[in-house]
Structure 1
Amino acid sequence: MDPSSTNYHSRIQVAMNFISHHIMDEDLTLEVISEKCAISKYHFHRIFKAIEGETVAEFTRRTRLNLTASKLLTNPQLEITEVAYEFGFSNPQNFSRSFKKQFSLSPSDFRKHHAGKVQDQWLLNSQLEVNKLEEYKSLIINSELTTLPDYSIAYIRKRGSYGIENAIGAFEELYSKIRPLEYLGDRHTFGVYWDVSNITEGNKCRMDAGVLLTHEEARNCPLSVQVLKGGKYLVCHYEFNNIDYFVKATDDAWIELFKRGYECAHKPSFIRYDYIGNADRDRQSRFWIFDICIPIKD
């Protein structure tokens, strides 16, 4: 078995997506995960480590701890003990040991350390007051809490810090792969963001560039395919002609989430771009039409 083969890379991506979607499940075992991507448990363990540079257990633990770190920052009123039990740790002591091993700070020190950082203010409830946010000038044209359907997408995955250049590179690669397949016309494209960018190490942040498929296309697509799970989302709509506004647009969406008192669910957020038929013209004219969609916890 050659771990470098495209087929194995695709299956490991399926495994990582499955882990992220089921990170709170108590029965998220190696057997369950390996069965999901159709690789024997023995080979799956070795292939995952060869491709990702960390074991399945290490990836799962890191992903869970990153979520606990985000929870600590976005919910400063919560006791650390509450966060530990919510994320399946047997006791606060085990949680603190695991947390410190990953972040080199105890949960309480981590919370104090980040509370003073200006760049994290959009993320911290403790640093944002609703009356001040009402005066904040947002790029959002409109926003709504709505139920989205499942989206089947063909996608390619990139690693690296979230930013414009990485996203453009990912979509250029995606377009080069889908043009021969004739996946063009009036259909949405998607940028899918799996990790908490200001907590996860830059080289471990996962970003997918994808294009919407019909059911028939999804069954026969030669590229990697995934389903973006539908459900309740905060959808923020934008239209602007300056690519440099994307960072602020992202901040605006998360501030809107806070203003409404919502909590993000354990699913990836994504950007849903206007139809691919307009994509080339939009890039040339620097005009962007898209929605930032953040999953909402019930």
Structure 2
Amino acid sequence: MRHDARLAILQSVREKSLSESNYQMRMLRVLQYIDAHLDEDLTLERLSAVAAFSKFHFHRQFSDYFGLAAFSYVQLLRLKKAMYELAFRSHKQVIAIALDNGYESSEAFSRAFKKSLGLSPAQFRKQPQWDTWQHSQLTIDQLREQHMPATYQLTDVRITDFPETRIAVLEHRGAPALLGNSIQQFIAWRKLNKLPPSVSATFNLIYDDPDQTPADEYRFDLGAAVPAAVTDNQHGIVNKLIPAGKCAVLRHTGTDAQLGSAVRFLYNNWLPQSQRNLRDFPLFFQRISFFPDVPEHLMVTDIFLPLQE
């Protein structure tokens, strides 16, 4: 093959790759826009403008790319955010949750909620059905993992000296699908003791990989920094210490569904080349910002991997 012919082929491949990357970025921009504007009127015309696509073709482009209609995706995200607020933001009235998630009235919200989950918002708030909760998130989580993957570089990881930190802990033991019960219980204790995340740092101790651990053996700690040891209590809160020491830290910005990828990067990519040894303490998270208080793609979690000196 002549030299100029090879150059032409290489140029064509390069242009095709850039074109596909640009298309992907425009679609990603739409997902991020939807996340940040769930309480607004997200028409196809508005979303197509965000992507810089023709409004006459955008609905087909979105469906072909994501395997889900734009309207259906918006509805799933609104319901997910509403479920979090019903379960974990007890101070918010149902009508406020409805309006904050783009519904015109509590009646419209109730109809959509019951059609999707088989129970009313009030019923879900009183007794959340966590199996239904998990199932409702599968489509969103799978779509995000495929089209919004978190990517990291070795330089994203830093080494820090973590100070000894006393934490009050609720130990979740059992199926990951039932973690919501423990979260509700822990939030109730924090409110009772006036320890919101704004004044008390939030930590999770990660003992097990949910994909590799039998459900009844799964362990996960919910923790909040406290200035002094907590006394015996009826909420099941116990005292623990995160010891001082070196840690590798990776900041993850994005959904909880993507945290597994970030953890695997630390263990499989960063650790082997670092020539560091692990300390006898579990991986832990510090939660910096939370969904539904911020859009999912803007959630911030610092992942700490304890290291030997």
Radius of gyration: which is bigger? 2
Q: TM-score, normalised by structure 1?
A: 0.49
